Chain A
């Protein structure tokens, strides 16, 4: 122990250098964790967070009592997680392989630049672009089809719209990581396969895809920790926060955001966020434990 303190004192310069980030994390990440105690309190704005009286698990009882809202948004959150991760990973891999196989590298590079751009456009701006496509009267889609579809009030269409927007936004960017794995494959493997008479598809099936599997596994497992969190902008901005769409578009994060603006029952919301944080933590620990079993070098901790 004494050695530890001596060591710390000797390296006090490192302590000083670590301090600013340490404090920022303390104030903006750690202390808010304490705010989760609100889930067990009857929040009273005038008494503040520490002064409000405890009310045990009443908030959670309330959560179960009004389970329609809670179940619907949890269901949506999980649904979109599965769709986005599933379709997203598939498209990331397909795009990475396609660009890797394409021999006109200069053209590929330009295409790649364009494909990545959407990820840098904020959802506050994206929603105007989406509007131009799906507005009932002036939208491009309705004009092309000569139809009169009311997208902003038809909840059943939104799983499709949100998936397309999300893929437009993230696939180009997501494939970069896989592409860097492909760039690392020893090209003599392909040459050898070609000499042995393997065609393109066989090469992809037996060389390219197997070499991507570790990265795919790791990315999937790491995303599990975010299962309860969503891309809030997508669900809040792109849907224009339209109440008629909530059935298919309300996720936990957008619900909480709305609740804060409406100043509604914070006990209920706090119980929801508590649930969200704890499930996220458990899944993350589980995912890391699994990664450790399969590929220890990729585990987070």
Chain B
């Protein structure tokens, strides 16, 4: 595949000389409409979170609510302690998972990128097979819970997602294509050991690819709900996404059973979790990724591209 000439503008086409004719404005209009299609649903979350609960109950969701209110945001505090705990859990899993993953994957990528290392070939194949064949959800569930005896454990939220073939390939491709091997060789001639060469020469140079892979991994960890739903039982280990799933489930239960006793309602925080407070919770859950993303966009667009160029 042709290498891109303009590395700097990888994410967008090089600006050619072009006339800004009427066609451009039509195109702009279409793109604008599509942008709205992507952006409006997210905007609705924000609007609904600040809409008065009664207004939603009477008139439904709206982009132009009859009455604004901070009550939804305030009632997020109702989940108070659980929300805080879940936030902590999600942050811990995201940070720990991304760090551990980046470290072990970049070490693995470095090892299999060494030409003089004969075992590398076997390791590459070993890396590739899980992409082709997997045990599937059920095997994983049975093996993790009954063979390893892991249940309700952070390990199950972190380790299964930690090493992914595609990410190792991206890192390896970056090492092969963008870090001159002369650097590593000269470090060795100067007397640096293997580990020192990797940690002090190679690892710092891998930053751009690590930023890309790291951001993608962090997103995966942040958004992970399936393993949490399968394995996590206790409240103090619930990540945010599982909290969202639980909120939805409890709404459903209450809606489907009109005769839920008042005591049960009281136990769930006084009332049915409501529209605006639910949306406020959604904001709390998706907020950090949306704030972080524009800063990483550059890297992650590059990372995607790097990964597609085979080394």
Contacts and interface: CB of A to CB of B under 8 A. Distances in A.
Contact of B248 (A233, A240, A260): A240
A22 B290 CA distance: 33
Contacts, number: 336
Contacts of A112: 11-12
Chain A interface size band reads 35 or more
Chain B interface size band reads 35 or more
A145 interface: no
Interface stretch (B70-78, B81-89, B126-134, B173-181): B126-134
B105 interface: yes
Contact of B42 (A36, A43, A95, A118): A118
Contacts of B32: 111
B225 A118 contact: no
Given A15-B111, A29-B134, A99-B12, A22 B139 contact: no
Contacts of A225: 131-132
B193 A108 contact: no
Given A99-B31, A102-B28, A273-B138, A8 B160 contact: no
A115 B245 CA distance: 25
Interface in A160-175: 168, 172
A140 B44 CA distance: 10
A102 B120 CA distance: 45
B176 to A, nearest CB: 14
B305 A34 contact: no
Contact of B139 (A24, A32, A99, A215): A32
Interface in A123-138: 123-125, 127-129, 132-133, 135, 137-138
A17 B32 CA distance: 48
Interface string B195-228: 1001000000000000000000001001111100
B62 A21 contact: no
Given A7-B117, A183-B4, A253-B137, A25 B12 contact: no
B16 A187 contact: yes
Nearest to B35: A111
B114 interface: yes
Interface of A: 3-4, 7-8, 11, 13-15, 17-18, 20-22, 24-25, 27-36, 38, 43, 45, 48-49, 95, 98-105, 107-109, 111-118, 120-125, 127-129, 132-133, 135, 137-140, 142-143, 168, 172, 176-177, 179-180, 182-187, 190-191, 200, 214-215, 225, 232-233, 237, 240, 253, 256-257, 259-260, 266, 269-270, 273-274, 276-277, 280-281, 284-285, 297-298, 300-301
- Residue of B45, B48, B118 ringed by the most chain A CB atoms within 10 A: B118
A197 B245 CA distance: 58
Contacts of A182: 13
Contacts of B117: 7-8, 11, 14
Contacts of B194: 11, 13-14, 17
B27 interface: yes
Contacts of B162: 24, 28
Contact of A172 (B38, B45, B125, B168): B38
Contacts of B10: 180, 183
B66 interface: no
B195 A49 contact: no
A297 B20 contact: no
Nearest to A284: B132
Contact of B24 (A3, A7, A43, A104): A104
A253 B138 CA distance: 10
B166 to A, nearest CB: 10
Given A172-B38, A183-B4, 7 more contacts: A17-B108, A124-B225, A139-B60, A140-B62, A179-B11, A183-B12, A256-B136
22 contacts: A21-B107, A24-B162, A28-B160, A29-B163, A95-B34, A100-B13, A104-B24, A108-B12, A112-B12, A115-B35, A115-B38, A117-B38, A118-B42, A122-B244, A124-B225, A128-B278, A128-B279, A129-B42, A132-B61, A132-B275, A240-B252, A266-B142
B104 interface: yes
B6 A7 contact: no
Interface in B153-177: 159-160, 162-163, 168
Contacts of B4: 180, 183-184
A113 B146 contact: no
Given A177-B305, A301-B128, A128 B134 contact: no
